[in-house]
Amino acid sequence: MTEAHPLSAPAAPVSDEPLMPPDVRKTGYVYDPSMTLHSTLAAEPHPERPERITSIFTMLQMHGCIHRMHRILSREASLAEVSLVHTEELWHSLEETVQLPEDKLRELIAFYEAKSLYLNRSSTLCARLSCGSAIELCKAVASGRVQNGFAIVRPPGHHAEPDGSQGFCLYNNVAIATRTLLHHAARRIMILDWDVHHGNGTQRIFWNDSNVLYISLHRYENGTFYPGTTFGNYDQVGGPDALGTSVNVPWPCTGMGDADYLHAFQQCILPIAYEFAPDLVIVSAGFDAADGDVLGGCRVSPTGYAHMTHQLMALAHGRLAVVLEGGYTLDAISRSALAVVRTLLGDALPPLPPGTAASTAAVHTVQQVIRAQAPHWQCMRTAMSMAPMSSGTGACHSFSLPSLFLEARAARLWSSYQLLPLPMYSDGLAPHQVLCSSSFVLSTTDTFVVFVHDLGTLHQDASGAPYVSDAADALVAWATSRHYAILDLCTLTPLPREAVCSPTHERVPDTTPTHLYAHIESLWDHVCALSAAKRFVLVGLGTGCHVLMHLIAARALHHRVAGVVQVLGTNPIPLVPKSHPELKSWYLEHAHVVCPPNHPHLAWSDQASSGKRLGRVQRATSACPMDTLAQTIPLLEDMLRS
């Protein structure tokens, strides 16, 4: 049991407002002036000082917010709760250290300064209070006792890692609250960290946890800004079992403001959040990106924080818990916290000034984030494929790389092989590119090749010049040289570079854009089925493999199909649906499924567990799906000879 310490520092009084009935849904708060007891023993003042929380609480009192809020009682976190995230060794080490005489603690100042920490006799008490109070607020929000709430706590937590305290943080308050709730009250939790520093501890704790989406906007500057690692770069997307659940928006410079943060919210953060569909949203609310903060160097206004809060309130049925992290200029953090609380209370949102526009640095950074997350989120694949075609000014036009690639591709395949574009944009379905042999070939051929594939991948050559690899040429050249008809459907989905499989294929969700299923059915009904062809060959690449599996199950076509070749990138292997057991033997006999050497399926060797539903899986000689596709042409020849 921990012993309560007497209050020895002046602070604003805690409201004695009684707890409200559990059926009242409003904004809650938690605050305990005992957390001001954590203060430095050094002669120089420290940025993480007790006045941070008293200034916020006083500001909320002055503007009449506290009496409109439901008070959540503070408490200390237990060893069992802290151990959900941190090692017991860390707990015991901190407790033993703070029991040292004050002169011994002073001797350790230099040691702890190397970790951007300080300790006094009351530090672990305050850390337990900070952590336990964050847990209680999040529990109140998750249970519906309040709709949303604000935890005015210190010391902060998001830099604390499982086995070590650092960066002004002793225990990771938000991470411990999240783990506690995942055990009891929530299935999926999103953590939005808008502190100006990357929350290295929180990201590492949930790196491989697919139930927690961690999103951080922070100054990065090539890893030179605190905490000074590359862990917060845009390409850090999560562990092998949780790809896409770490989302980093790494600002490359100082001075980022409202428009930059809101651009990131609109373009990548909110789309991913909606797709993740959390049960609860927790904000690691550092206010050191606020305009005027001495350490942050950014320019987010109280209005900017209000708008970010308002947009987050649209998630998780409004269940939003805001937990204080950093922020070191008292006026800036107090005004920012006031704006957030007023938004939580439902006050009118202050308007952004006219002409608010994101900087070039922000736009470029967000584009990098979208590209990094595209293999893991359908909304990001759509965002990358469907970039605006016009600048909107009327003075000039800009074109996305995918659109330029598709235009050039259509022109090239017409010039070389006389493939015609088919207009297939209907009923609000997302666009894609469909190219097909001429009507003369369709009416005279006895063999039809249906090729469904992902968008080519953007690369750079040795000089840095960009180029796009295209999967079509070898296959189209082969088909047209034999006077076969060919239908080429480009899905506008980028070929994934990271493995998105799991050991049990049944548990991997099909993330193929559903509009592609409607498209392939329409193409089959209105083009393929009406042709003179007596036999078909189906060829899939990447996402196209799942699209073709859907077509096989949706249409009774297997008696017309001579063979199927599926060339995987790192996509999950498509399975014959359990609802069509009659297709299993046919698919095993007619389908060649070719995986790159590093595909997880080949490492797990679990084909037996799925039996005939996988087809005949074989290892490619190249890790490049484009090369593998060209090397499968002999398989197609064999299928058509048999």
Which residues are marked as active site?
159
Token pair 């929380």 in the structure block, residue: 53
172 touches 304 (CB < 8 A): no
Please choose, from the candidates 455, 533, 445, 439, the residue with its C-alpha nearest in 3D space to the C-alpha of residue 489.
Answer: 455
Q: What is the DSSP letter of 490?
A: E
Crossing angle of helices 123-143 and 88-98, in 10° steps, is: 140
Token pair 């995230």 in the structure block, residue: 85
d(CA 425, CA 405): 18
Token pair 């980022």 in the structure block, residue: 256
The per-type count for the chain, helices as H runs and strands as E runs, is: 24, 18
Is 273 exposed, middle or buried, given 0-12, 13-18 or 19+ CB atoms closer than 10 A? buried
d(CA 150, CA 336): 12
162 touches 203 (CB < 8 A): no
Is the omega angle on the peptide bond into residue 227 within 30 degrees of 0, that is, cis?
yes
Q: What is the DSSP letter of 299?
A: B
Backbone angles phi, psi at 528, to 5 degrees: -65, -50
Q: Which helix (H) or strand (E) holds 473?
A: helix 472-481
Q: Locate 25 and state its tokens.
A: 């849904």
> What amino acid is encoded at 639 in this protein?
M
Backbone angles phi, psi at 552, to 5 degrees: -60, -40
Q: Locate 480 and state its tokens.
A: 């047209």
> How would you list the strands of the sheet with 591-595, edge to edge?
420-421, 433-436, 485-494, 447-455, 535-541, 561-567, 591-595, 616-619
**DSSP bridge pairs for 466:** 460
Please choose, from the candidates 183, 262, 176, the residue with its C-alpha nearest in 3D space to the C-alpha of residue 217.
Answer: 262
The 3-state DSSP class for residue 358 equals: coil
Is 374 exposed, middle or buried, given 0-12, 13-18 or 19+ CB atoms closer than 10 A? buried
d(CA 516, CA 539): 15
Question: Is the Cα torsion angle 435, 437, 438, 443 positive or negative in sign?
Answer: negative
Token pair 């000879």 in the structure block, residue: 641
Is 188 exposed, middle or buried, given 0-12, 13-18 or 19+ CB atoms closer than 10 A? middle
d(CA 623, CA 460): 18
- Helix, strand, coil shares of the chain, percent, nearest 5, are 40, 15, 45
Q: How many residues does the chain have?
A: 642
Is the omega angle on the peptide bond into residue 577 within 30 degrees of 0, that is, cis?
no
570 touches 498 (CB < 8 A): yes
